[in-house]
Amino acid sequence: MGVCWGAILMGLAAEACLAQAGCLPQQARTVRIAHQTWEVTVAWTEAERERGLSGRDSLSAGEGMWFVLPEPGRHGFWMKDMGFPIDLVWITPQRRVAGSVTLSPCGEGPCRIHYPDEAVSFVLEVNEGQFTGRAGDPVDWHCPP
């Protein structure tokens, strides 16, 4: 078990431990879930999280958006101003997949807000059909050297 996992299990702040390890989630450049890896753009600030992938036409294969949430919770996501369908992956503070959902753009009408079944700290958005994992899969991220 890694040092940060031990700290989390002992109730210590995960972010403080990760800072000591030198790779905060908001500094990630790649995210790995089980056997899959994506190069990511980070949405860490409130403005970045709110904008998300809105207004973009597509993602390249192997590319995703990594949302680092301000605190664990049942944060809602919607497809406002989205031009393409995505797989949205909910990730717990313990860095495990909580679940995933495929979402389509909501068009001109009101957009439905989608919530996870449990508290999450991170969300990964990738092209529809690219996520092949399942609940419980381990999640890790890597930062530039």
Q: What CATH number does the domain containing 78 carry?
A: 2.60.120.1140
Q: Within a domain: residue 60?
A: yes
**Dihedral of CA 133/134/137/143: which sign?**
positive
Measure the CA–CA gap between 39 and 118, rounded to whole angstroms.
26
Q: Does the structure show a pLDDT above 80 at 64?
A: yes
Residue-wise pLDDT tens digits, 87-117: 999 999 999 999 999 999 987 778 899 999 9
Count of structural domains, the chain? 1
Q: Within a domain: residue 117?
A: yes
Q: One-letter amino acid identity for 57?
A: D
* Mean pLDDT score, 6-26: 58
Q: Within a domain: residue 40?
A: yes
Q: Within a domain: residue 16?
A: no
Residue-level pLDDT at 81: 85
How much is the mean pLDDT over the chain? Answer: 87
Residue-wise pLDDT tens digits, 30-48: 999 999 999 999 999 999 9
Residue-level pLDDT at 144: 84
Residue whose C-alpha is closest to residue 58's, from 122, 112, 132, 130: 130
Residue-level pLDDT at 2: 46
Q: Within a domain: residue 15?
A: no
Q: Within a domain: residue 12?
A: no
Measure the CA–CA gap between 23 and 28, rounded to whole angstroms.
7
Identify the weakest region by mean pLDDT among 8-12, 80-84, 138-142. Answer: 8-12
- Give the domain range for residue 101: 24-142
Q: Within a domain: residue 28?
A: yes
Percentage of the chain beyond pLDDT 70 is 85
Q: Does the structure show a pLDDT above 70 at 123?
A: yes
Under the banding of pLDDT at 50, 70 and 90, the label for residue 13 is low
Neighbouring residues of 12: CB distance < 8 A, sequence distance ≥ 6: none
Q: Within a domain: residue 18?
A: no
In a 3-state reduction of DSSP, which class is residue 50?
helix
Q: Does the structure show a pLDDT above 50 at 23?
A: yes
